[in-house]
Chains A and B, each alone.
Chain A
Amino acid sequence: MRTSNLTKAAALAFGVVWAAGCSTTSTTDTATTGTETDGSATQGVGVDSGVTGVTIEDLATLRTVFYFDFDQATLKAESYADLEKHSAYLAQHPSARVVLEGHADERGTREYNMALGERRALSVARFMQVNGVSGGQIETVSFGEEKPAVVGHSETSWSQNRRVELKYTAQ
């Protein structure tokens, strides 16, 4: 793991600054970011995973869809291992890029679910940053409940729709 503890500490301490400025394009907006406190939970961070040497062949074996509980954006423990490997790969390949697509199930209102999908994508993005991925390698987009993976009106479908899909745009 090439990420120094300092980087991790900085990423945690300035989570909100990162959240404001992590994505690809900048705007000329001068709003007062950074003056508020970030109450979002962080999870599964600060523990060195020790993952090294993830190859492009390894990527094909990793899961790329990560699931969430209802109205929650907290990563499940089952997601850590593969996300750490994706992170290691991205950290080792600075020209690689990913898009994180956040989704929600159909319950609740559409615009609130847009916000929830974004929160889930940002939750994954933060985990990856803490594990050494540069903010410039990650792009996030929310589709809310607009693009369900499975169409249906029961928990079987809903649980598969509350997800973040990780897609490489450059490997």
Chain B
Amino acid sequence: MVNRIQQSLISCVLMLMSVMAHAELTIEITQGVDKPTPIAVVPFAWGGSFALKEDVAQIVSDDLGRTGLFSMMKRNNMLSFPSQQNQVFYRDWRVGGTEFLVIGRQQAIENGQLRVEFELYDVLKQQRILVERVTGNNNNLRDVAHYIADKVYEKLTGIRGAFSTRIVYVTAQQFGNGNVKYQLQMADADGARPITIREQSQPIMSPAWSRDGTKLAYVSFESGKPAIYIQYLSTGKREKLQSFRGLNGAPAWSPDGNRLALTLSKDGNPEIYVLDLQSRQLNRITHHYGIDTEPSWTPDGQSLIFTSDRGGQPQIYRIRLASRDIERITYEGNYNASAKLTPDGRFLALVHRGGDNQFHIAVRDMKTGRLDVLTDTLLDESPTIAPNGSIILYATQKGTRGVLGGVTLDGRVRFLLPAPAGDVREPAWSSYLQ
């Protein structure tokens, strides 16, 4: 799996796109759970003749720690550094309160390949509960590490890990006299290894992943007016969709990847359309003189969730594509927008303004109708959901700058991914990448 990821995505992207030196987004946890589960990830053994480019165990530890569900044991508190089963002494770990233990070893094999074996132990039950072998090389050890973190996370939580996925986001850097550099960037889910997908002097907006992770759609003002572009990640090739007078915005790929929902105002005011990417047929979905925008698909591809001010203020609605039946979803608050369903359809993440007149990220339980506000900063927007439904990434302000924030769906854990310079905004989280 790691090899396939490496071949199909990273290497192509690295080769064909401009790789620019950027300081990475760094993560700081601002709020954790009350009693996170203590885990130790022991440095992985390595006796090879060359230096490894990444500290795999540290990346695994950081991935797990960032979820806020676990407290990671520091290396200098470890009493021993086992790398094989016969070196594991449970009392060394019980004494420090550790409940789970990850060990591993790395070995050079033929053709510059590396074999990485890892094992997960339940310290209290004194059992090895997971053992697996991964093949990689010195250039994709970060992928190997995210893969291991995915497996450990899934074993411990029952939820598929999303550490091997990617995010895209837009940055804007001011250069005085009105000059701004806009960049569309892609990075690992932890903000590492950012690369620039597109750079220009006019705004970039609303990046959206195709479900298979091979393409992005986004809005660019490079022609002086908004137009939607599709860009292929493997080749960098771009395609400008036919653009119309007025707005051309808010692209959203259908789950099957064959259609693109978007907003056009060519008929006089913003309406939602669905473009069939094969036939290029454009179907108008909404008919209302108010603003209809920000379409997102339900997981079954049968309906669109969208924002409309047809009731006087922006609120969230759902339209069924077959019947065109429209149902209003949100009533609480005076501004609800930019809504997206979790992959299981159970929760709706959205931008919400309530009594305090500030813009927060909220989540609505679609079964019970309960709305929970997850953030307490004042200008939060652009929620995007991890493919395992565990974390919402969003844009917020820290000081005077735009930064990315993350919050678990239950609101218990929050973190920031502050960037070294410029404004960071409009994150979009990929699906699982194969």
Chain B residues numbered 266-291 whose CB sits less than 8 Å from any CB in chain A = 266-270, 282, 284, 287-291
**Complex interface: chain A residues within 8 A of B266 (CB):** 27, 29, 31
**Complex interface: chain B residues within 8 A of A31 (CB):** 266-267, 284
Q: Which residue of A lies closest to B182 (CB)?
A: A146
Distance of A29 Cα from B242 Cα, bound (Å): 12
Distance of A111 Cα from B170 Cα, bound (Å): 14
Contacts A106-B379, A109-B294 given; does A27 touch B265 at CB 8 Å: no
Q: How many residues in A have their beta carbons less than 8 Å from beta carbons of B?
A: 38
Interface membership of A20, Cβ < 8 A = yes
- Min CB distance A43 to B, Å, is 16
Contacts A108-B314, A109-B381, A112-B314 given; does A33 touch B267 at CB 8 Å: yes
**Complex interface: chain A residues within 8 A of B397 (CB):** 153
Q: Is the CB of A25 within 8 A of B174?
A: no
Which stretch of B27-35, B87-95, B218-226 is in the interface? B218-226
Q: Is the CB of B268 within 8 A of A16?
A: yes
Distance of A118 Cα from B353 Cα, bound (Å): 22
Chain A residues numbered 81-139 whose CB sits less than 8 Å from any CB in chain B = 106-112, 114-116, 118-119
Distance of A29 Cα from B282 Cα, bound (Å): 10
Contacts A108-B335, A143-B221 given; does A151 touch B379 at CB 8 Å: no
Distance of A151 Cα from B423 Cα, bound (Å): 12
Q: Which residue of A lies closest to B174 (CB)?
A: A151
- Min CB distance B149 to A, Å, is 32
Interface membership of B245, Cβ < 8 A = yes
Contacts A20-B267, A36-B287, A108-B335 given; does A29 touch B244 at CB 8 Å: yes
Q: Is the CB of A112 within 8 A of B291?
A: yes
**Complex interface: chain B residues within 8 A of A151 (CB):** 174, 400
Distance of A37 Cα from B313 Cα, bound (Å): 19
Q: Is the CB of A37 within 8 A of B247?
A: no
Q: Is the CB of A118 within 8 A of B289?
A: no
Chain A residues numbered 16-46 whose CB sits less than 8 Å from any CB in chain B = 16, 19-20, 23-25, 27, 29, 31, 33, 36-40
Determine which of B289, B293, B309 lies in contact with A111 in the assembled complex, contact meaning CB atoms within 8 Å: B293
Name 19 interchain pairs, CB-CB below 8 A, sorted by A: A19-B268, A19-B269, A27-B266, A29-B267, A36-B287, A39-B289, A39-B290, A108-B337, A109-B337, A109-B382, A111-B249, A112-B291, A112-B307, A112-B338, A118-B246, A141-B224, A142-B226, A143-B203, A152-B400
Q: What are the 9 A-B residue pairs with the smallest beta carbon separation, nearest first?
A: A19-B268, A146-B203, A20-B268, A115-B291, A109-B338, A109-B337, A115-B270, A111-B250, A23-B245
Residues of B within 8 A of A (CB): 174, 203, 205-206, 221, 224-226, 244-247, 249-250, 263, 265-270, 282, 284, 287-291, 293-294, 307, 309, 313-314, 335, 337-338, 351, 353, 359, 379, 381-382, 397, 400, 425-426
Given contacts A25-B245, A29-B244, 5 further A-B contacts (CB under 8 A): A39-B289, A107-B379, A109-B337, A112-B309, A115-B263
